[in-house]
Amino acid sequence: QVQLQQSGPGLVKPSQTLSLTCAISGDSVSSNSAAWNWLRQSPSRGLEWLGRTYYRSKWYIGYAVSVKSRITINPDTSKNQFSLQLNSVTPEDTAVYFCARGNGGMIDSWGQGTLVTVSS
């Protein structure tokens, strides 16, 4: 049973960088069958996929067009976790952020969610 535990600050100032980490237990970030995703949810934007990373003999990373210029997702094999960085945030980036596992062509497990507020 995979479990995803998110950590990171709940308040970020405008123009700064949002950073979150998702620790994995019960699976491996280097799994050849899983993909590791970041998503967010807000009343104005609904559920929005941000990007993912996965390993298939080498690392692959993909980002949503809406955030492609500002986002970085990195796997950390030493700690079995993956991270999200979103640069130059504005109040529009205020949302509940989720990490999630993609497996067998579906997203099947989610982290607990982190409310991130962008405000000075």
Residue by residue, DSSP assigns the chain as --EEEEE--SEE-TTS-EEEEEEEESS-TT-SSEEEEEEEEETTTEEEEEEEEEESSSEEEEE-GGGTTTEEEEEETTTTEEEEEE-S--GGG-EEEEEEEEETTEEEEE---EEEEE--
CB of 6 to another protein, least distance (A): 10
Please, which residue, 55 or 97, has the CB nearer to another protein? 97
User: Could you tell me which stretch among 8-16, 22-30, 40-48, 76-84 binds another protein (CB under 8 A)?
Assistant: 40-48
Q: Does residue 1 contact residue 14 with C-beta atoms inside 8 Å?
A: no
Please, which residue, 16 or 70, has the CB nearer to another protein? 70
11 binds another protein (CB under 8 A): no
Among 62, 72, 80, 87, binds another protein (CB under 8 A): 62
User: Could you tell me which stretch among 53-61, 74-82, 85-93, 107-115 binds another protein (CB under 8 A)?
Assistant: 107-115
Which residues here bind another protein, judged by CB under 8 A?
37, 39, 46-49, 51, 62, 64-65, 98, 104-113
